[in-house]
Copies of this chain bind each other. A is one copy, B any other.
Amino acid sequence: MTEQAFNLSQPIIIFGNGEAPNHPIALKVLKKASTIISLDGGSDKLISMGYSPDYIVGDMDSLNYDQIKYKTQVILMKDQSKNDLEKAMDWLVCNKINKLELVGCSAARDDHHFANLFIMEKFSNFINMKMVTNWSVFYCLDGLKTFKSVPGQTVSIITKNNDVKITTEGLKYSLKNESFNSPSQGISNVALASSFSLDVSKPVWVIVNHI
């Protein structure tokens, strides 16, 4: 039995340097975290909200690291070909983590926000993850999954390809092994009951808007 190098107890969240969480659902995720990994400049935002990071991951280009102020371990990853979220994901996969929640990883800098969605897709087969924003919860799904919902809740499905076959159950506008004809065809579907399910032939993003 190998010794675990780091104490990464669940629930684990990554806290980014995007828009600070202010929706009750996003704040609840943060409050329940057992391990908080902050990304570089996100560390100051986290501390200003009254939390301390358990680990700081990044190249420290956005943070003037002060051992006394942060009182935590820095996982220094210098790699200019990846942003801090992707570096943190690499580190978590190496540590055999397969469940994760992302907070503060959306909005603010548009480029990081957009790249972070593609990073979710890259790691979706390794880590069961969701990104919680002030507006919604993002998932990236390949295959079959059932989601909890509230009747009437808005559910959107977005694909990067036109040829993804999608089957839905429990949504108002149902699909039976169909593809989308337009980029916005999957926007604003509606959950009919307390759960819905999707079965997809390639990765799609599922966005469940907060009630």
Chain A residues packing against B (C-beta within 8 Å): 80-83, 85-86, 106-112, 114-119, 121-122, 133, 135-136, 138, 154, 156, 158, 160, 173, 181-188, 205, 207, 209
Which residue of B115, B133, B181, B188 contacts A183 across the interface (Cβ within 8 Å)? B115
- Residue of B107, B173, B183 touching A107 (CB-CB under 8 A): B107
Q: Is the CB of A110 within 8 A of B81?
A: no
Assembled-state Cα–Cα distance A86/B81 (Å) = 33
Tell me if B117 and A207 are in contact (CB < 8 A): no
Query: Whose C-beta in chain B lies nearest to the C-beta of A90?
Result: B182
- How far is the CB of A170 from the nearest CB of chain B, in Å? 18
| Chain B CB within 10 Å, residue with most, of A81, A117, A122 | A81
A-B contact pairs, 9 of them (CB 8 A): A85-B184, A106-B110, A107-B107, A109-B136, A111-B187, A111-B207, A114-B205, A115-B186, A121-B183
Q: Is the CB of B111 within 8 A of A136?
A: yes
Contacts of A115 in B (CB 8 A): 156, 158, 183-184, 186-187
Q: How far is the CB of A176 from chain B (nearest CB, A)?
A: 15
Task: Tell me the minimal C-beta distance from A79 to chain B in angstroms.
Answer: 9
In angstroms, Cα B160 to Cα A44, docked, is 31
The answer to whether B118 and A82 touch across the interface, beta carbons within 8 angstroms, is: no
Whether A114 pairs with B182 at a CB distance below 8 angstroms is no
Given contacts A122-B183, A209-B109, contact A114 B82 (CB under 8 A): no
Q: Which residues of B are found within 8 Å of A110, using beta-carbon distances?
A: 106, 133, 135-136, 138, 207, 209
Given A106-B110, A110-B138, A111-B158, 4 further pairs, Cβ under 8 A: A82-B184, A111-B136, A112-B187, A122-B183
A158 nearest CB across to chain B (Å): 5
* Minimum Cβ distance to chain B for residue A107 (Å): 6
Q: Which of A114, A181, A188, A209 has the most CB of B within 10 A?
A: A114
